[in-house]
């Protein structure tokens, strides 16, 4: 049974829409832990569009389960990671204009930069994971770098609408997962997983961590909306 890493970035996205103090992703992390999360995941983007440095530092002090920092292999962010020391750093590609992380990290195409980041983080006692597409060449590059884990990008599986396409993408994840485990790395998966599509991925042999964000935050808004309105209605109706 894989661990569930809950990505709380979009709690911060709502806060940043108003540059206010609520909702606080640190509160969300507490609730996620109470709900059974095995890990809390945040992405400190270079443009700080959602998670802020303050969030990461407070999460480091308060999170009792694994703290997984998604980050670009950039010097300034590596320096922050070394200072804060999350349990795990997941290296992801990052483009300012993207809405979310679009594809896996091109380890082969950025070998020197990725290698430097992997070595620096690992020397700092941080477990390093690489977020890559289910591609044999990228998995081999990850193995040569000696990383702790690989997180396979499940986006193509999640986006497939036709059943045959979904089956094909799932098979590709299963095959790539086998290569990851054969290479001696832990197998993680994530991106685009929802309440509807997660089961087949959770059942992939040897997958040890799933990172899920958007769908959980989206559902939280819905399952909590009625109560929030009821509470406000009671306040405005007093007296
Ligand atoms: N894993 C990685 C590496 C990611 O970059 C993201 C998105 O931040 C996720 C998992 C979670 O994706 P989603 O928000 O679609 O569940």
For 56-79, what is each residue's pLDDT tens digit? 999 999 999 999 999 999 999 999
> Tell me, what's the pLDDT at 19?
97
b or e along 133-149 (b: 16 or more beta carbons within 10 Å of the residue's beta carbon)? bbbeebbebbbebebbb
Residue 211 alpha carbon, nearest atom of ligand 1? 10
Closest residue to atom 5 of ligand 1, CA basis: 101
CB 94 less than 6 A from any atom of ligand 1: no
For 163-214, what is each residue's pLDDT tens digit? 999 999 999 999 999 999 999 999 999 999 999 999 999 999 999 999 999 9
Of 175, 171, 174, 179, which is closest to residue 141 (Cα–Cα)?
179
Q: Rounded to 5 degrees, what are φ and ψ at 124?
A: -85, 5
Of 61, 52, 60, 67, which is closest to residue 15 (Cα–Cα)?
52
98, 213, 215, 216: which to mutate for ligand 1, most atoms within 8 A of CB?
Answer: 213
> Tell me, what's the pLDDT at 144?
98
SS3 labels along the chain: CCEEEEECHHHHHHHHHHCCCCCCHHHHHHHHHHCCCCEEEEECCCCCCCCCHHHHHHHHHHCCCEEEEEECCCHHHHHHHHHHCCCEEEECCCCCCCCCCCCCCCCHHHHHHHHHHHHHHHHCCCEEEEEECCCHHHHHHHHHHCCCEEEEECHHHHHCCCHHHHHHHHHHHHHHHHHHHHCCCEEEEECCCCCCCHHHHHCCCCEEEEEECHHHHHHHHHHHHHHHHHHHHHHHCCC
Q: Quick check: 41 and 70 in contact, CB under 8 A?
A: yes
Q: Which CATH number fits domain 3-236: 3.20.20.70, 1.10.3720.10, 3.40.1440.10, 3.40.640.10?
A: 3.20.20.70
CB 131 less than 6 A from any atom of ligand 1: yes
**Residue boundaries of the structural domains of the chain:** 3-236
Does the pTM surpass 0.85? The reply is yes
User: For the chain, what percent of residues have pLDDT higher than 70?
Assistant: 97
CB 147 less than 6 A from any atom of ligand 1: no
> Tell me, what's the pLDDT at 103?
87
> Tell me, what's the pLDDT at 97?
65
CB 213 less than 6 A from any atom of ligand 1: yes
Q: Rounded to whole angstroms, how far apart are CA atoms 168 and 174?
A: 10
CA–centroid distance, 201 to ligand 1, in Å, is 14
For residue 147, pLDDT beyond 70: yes
For residue 102, pLDDT beyond 80: no
For residue 88, pLDDT beyond 80: yes
CA–centroid distance, 111 to ligand 1, in Å, is 23
User: For the chain, what percent of residues have pLDDT higher than 90?
Assistant: 95
Pick 222 or 103 by higher pLDDT: 222
């Amino acid at each position: 049974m894989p661990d569930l890493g809950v990505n709380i970035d979009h709690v911060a996205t709502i806060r940043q829409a108003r540059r206010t103090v609520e909702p606080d992703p640190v509160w969300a992390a507490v609730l996620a832990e109470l709900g059974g999360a095995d890990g809390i995941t945040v992405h400190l983007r270079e443009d700080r569009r959602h998670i802020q440095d303050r969030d990461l530092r407070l999460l480091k002090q308060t999170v009792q389960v694994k703290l997984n920092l998604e980050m670009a292999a950039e010097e300034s962010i590596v320096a922050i990671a070394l200072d804060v020391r999350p349990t795990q750093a997941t290296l992801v590609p990052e483009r300012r204009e993207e809405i979310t992380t679009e594809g896996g990290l091109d380890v082969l195409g950025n070998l020197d930069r990725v290698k430097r980041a992997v070595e620096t983080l690992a020397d700092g006692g941080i477990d390093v994971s690489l977020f890559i597409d289910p591609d044999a060449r990228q998995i081999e590059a990850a193995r040569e770098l000696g990383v702790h884990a690989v997180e396979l990008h499940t986006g193509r599986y999640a986006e497939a609408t036709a059943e045959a396409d979904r089956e094909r993408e799932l098979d590709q994840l299963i095959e790539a997962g086998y290569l990851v485990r054969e290479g001696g790395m832990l197998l993680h998966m994530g991106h685009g997983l929802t309440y509807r599509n997660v089961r087949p991925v959770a059942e992939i042999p040897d997958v040890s961590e799933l990172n899920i964000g958007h769908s959980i935050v989206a559902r939280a808004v819905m399952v909590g909306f009625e109560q929030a309105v009821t509470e406000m209605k009671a306040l405005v109706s007093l007296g």
